[in-house]
Structure 1
Amino acid sequence: MKTHQNYCIQKSRLVFSVLLCFLFFSMMQAQKKRQIKEAVPLDSIRLSDPAILADKKTNMYYMTGTGGLLWKSKDLKSWSGPYEITKTNPNSWMGPNPMIWAAELHFYKNKYYDFATFTNRDKIIDKVDDISIERRASHILVSDKAEGPYVPMKDDTYLPANKPTLDGTFWIDKDGKPYMIYCYEWLQNGNGTIEKIELKPNLSGSVGEGKLLFKASESPWSREKDANGNDKPNKVTDGPYLFKTGTGRLGMIWTSWIYDVYTQGVAYSKSGTLDGPWIQEKEPITPPNFGHGMLFQTFEGKWLMSVHSHKKVDNKTVRIPKLFEVDLSGDKLVVLKPYLNK
């Protein structure tokens, strides 16, 4: 009897020890996730597709991008983060642990919206040339605060489940209606496109079907080699972002490649609406190896472009946020010089 009691006591202690270890590990993981860095210079942050919201309500700059995390700054120089702000539904098509790409925040009708791309690597929607196409789509989350948390709205799906889409952004067109502008990925169609879809008034879902704006092959500046080694326009469309010039002209920056060089160009709408036609500028607008840009105005009124650099360091791809001053006062977007906030 005593032996049995000792066994039970030892077993209870073992279970208790395992539980303590589990709780300790869980606490350490939680602390690790919540570890916030302070006074981080912008060029010390590793981040793809940086998008910055200048929030007048809090007088704070909020930066997010691929990964879906958030950084905060009062002066664009010193940043704190990263903060976890995204709460998705594990029972939705995204699954319990989706990849998050190219998140960007928008303030609209007194709410904050997170336009982001989510990928469920466990769901394969197609196979093209032995490449498995994962379930990936642009989506919108909402919050009452710029810092989040951002949560899904009513509709589970904004874009077709059988198409890989990415890099959704926001625009209110001349008809007063809200739209998502996004890329239909080249992996499936062989010639990436930029498209638009109308959104419900509260952005809780989409209306109708997507409409083509232009194809990657319309770019006069992008380049790649075909199977025979001949030049042709690159097939990639990436990172669209809409803006208006000082004269009211509607423009769009977007990114592709010149061989292995990440490059950003610009197109302008002849009609002044999303329907175009879109006329591509002949030359890129940013230095080599910069792209996926967006535009925002500082609290002092200066227009800046946020992009990331794209380079190899020790055979690893490194992407670092970078700011450029831009001039929008005329008929075209002009990129001036790197922005240094000293």
Structure 2
Amino acid sequence: MEVGFRSVKKVKRDQIHMRDPFIFTSHEEQKYYLFGTTFADGCGDKDPIFEVYVGDNLEEWEGPYVAFDPPKGFWGVRHYWAPEVFEIDGRFYMFASFKGGIGEHRGTGILAADHPAGPYVPHSEGSITPNGWECLDGTYYQDENGERWMVFCHEWTQLHEGRIKAIRLSKDLKTAVGEPIEILNAADMPWIRKFGDPRIEKTGYLTDAPFLYKAKNGELILLWSSYSVPNYGDEGLGGYTVAIARSKNGDMTGEWEHDEKLLMDRNAGHSSLFRDLKMQLHLCTHYPDTPHGSERPFFIKVEEIENGLKLTEGL
């Protein structure tokens, strides 16, 4: 694995400052690879990169190693956000968000490598998400018909009412195919509150972190994050949260329904699911969401129940 300018150390999980964590479990190697948003905009004379930590359990890690060091002229120049790694056709593909140069919007592109830790190289022809759209947090899903999809967020910063959309991918994962379809409009949710960013003097309904899971009952479950009104969820925090949408017929294009009950409302979010080396299902999330600087990767055991998912541990 490639070493960057930061020192590689043995660290505990709660010593890793990271947003948007994602675990890739290598059953072949009996190891975990931890990715996330860490060095998103570079520092000093160092350009942004994606990093990876490696461990054989979920509490003790070694890193950071360099997973992706962009080549000169790469289209993404900042906002290196939310990498997710999937094994597809014997190779490893990283779906990650980048902001382009002046006059270019943020989007999600695809990188590729021969090993889960990298080194990754550009694979897609620039951003997969549509040109001119402000997007982020693309994730991968292959349906039962073999269709390959990217599900992503069309940003509140452009639309005011953030959306989650899906677009088909070419078999080689290099380009989008056809037009996006809409899964949800954040403003329709009864629990959601407007998000404000004083740095850009804007407010809107935020969408983050779609992640798909095919449940045992055939439903297609979508996890996603935003901010809830106070006193709505289990803890009533009115903070960053995790919601569930579901396609009852299990199809991406099916009619999507939205759970009134939040999966988690505890100032934690941007969640994905993974199975550990013993095949136990976990939620991977960052906690807490605020104050900024305190975010750490956090893993919660999950049980699949008849009508969805149930957290079996607290924060």
TM norm. shorter chain > 0.5: yes
2:198 maps to 1:218: no
Distance 1:31-1:249 versus aligned 2 partners, 3 A rule? closer
Q: CA deviation at 1:293?
A: 0.4
Equivalent in the alignment of 1:168: 138
User: Retained in 1: the 8 A contact 2:269–2:289?
Assistant: no
Q: Structure 2 regions of 5+ residues with no counterpart?
A: 39-49, 197-202, 230-237
Equivalent in the alignment of 1:192: 162
Which whole-Å CA distance do the structure 1 matches of 2:177 and 2:71 have between them?
A: 22
Distance 1:234-1:330 versus aligned 2 partners, 3 A rule? farther
2:11 maps to 1:45: no
AA matched with 2:16 = I
Which whole-Å CA distance do the structure 2 matches of 1:169 and 1:177 have between them?
A: 14
2:150 maps to 1:180: yes
% identical equivalent positions:
29
Report which of the two structures shows the higher radius of gyration computed on alpha carbons. 1
Q: CA deviation at 1:312?
A: 4.0
2:303 maps to 1:327: yes
SS of the equivalent of 1:106 reads strand
**Among candidates 276, 279, 296, match of residue 298 of structure 1:** 276
Q: Within 5 A, what are the aligned runs for 1:114-263? A: 114-120=94-100, 122-125=101-104, 135-153=105-123, 155-224=125-194, 235-259=205-229, 261-263=239-241
Structure 1 residue ranges, 4+ long, deviating more than 4 angstroms after superposition: none
In the superposition, the TM-score normalised over structure 2's length comes to 0.86
User: Retained in 2: the 8 A contact 1:291–1:307?
Assistant: yes
Which whole-Å CA distance do the structure 2 matches of 1:237 and 1:276 have between them?
A: 20
User: Retained in 2: the 8 A contact 1:245–1:329?
Assistant: no
AA matched with 2:296 = I
User: Retained in 2: the 8 A contact 1:70–1:83?
Assistant: yes
AA matched with 2:66 = E
Distance 1:174-1:300 versus aligned 2 partners, 3 A rule? same
Which whole-Å CA distance do the structure 2 matches of 1:225 and 1:305 have between them?
A: 24
Q: CA deviation at 1:175?
A: 2.4
**Among candidates 74, 93, 102, match of residue 82 of structure 2:** 102
AA matched with 1:81 = G
Q: CA deviation at 1:93?
A: 2.8
AA matched with 1:296 = F
Q: CA deviation at 1:65?
A: 1.2
Equivalent in the alignment of 1:75: 57
Moved more, 85-94 or 240-249: 85-94
2:266 maps to 1:288: yes
AA matched with 1:43 = D
Q: CA deviation at 1:37?
A: 0.9
Q: CA deviation at 1:310?
A: 3.0
SS of the equivalent of 2:145 reads coil
Distance 1:296-1:185 versus aligned 2 partners, 3 A rule? same
Query: Hey, which of these two has a bigger chunk of helix by percent?
Result: 1
User: Retained in 2: the 8 A contact 1:295–1:304?
Assistant: yes
Equivalent in the alignment of 2:73: 91
Which whole-Å CA distance do the structure 2 matches of 1:171 and 1:32 have between them?
A: 31
SS of the equivalent of 1:43 reads helix
Which whole-Å CA distance do the structure 2 matches of 1:53 and 1:100 have between them?
A: 18
Q: Within 5 A, what are the aligned runs for 1:12-51? A: 33-38=5-10, 40-51=11-22
Aligned length: 289
Could you say what the CA RMSD is over the residues aligned between the two structures, in angstroms? 2.2
Equivalent in the alignment of 1:132: none
SS of the equivalent of 2:14 reads helix
In the superposition, the TM-score normalised over structure 1's length comes to 0.79
AA matched with 1:100 = Y
SS of the equivalent of 2:157 reads helix
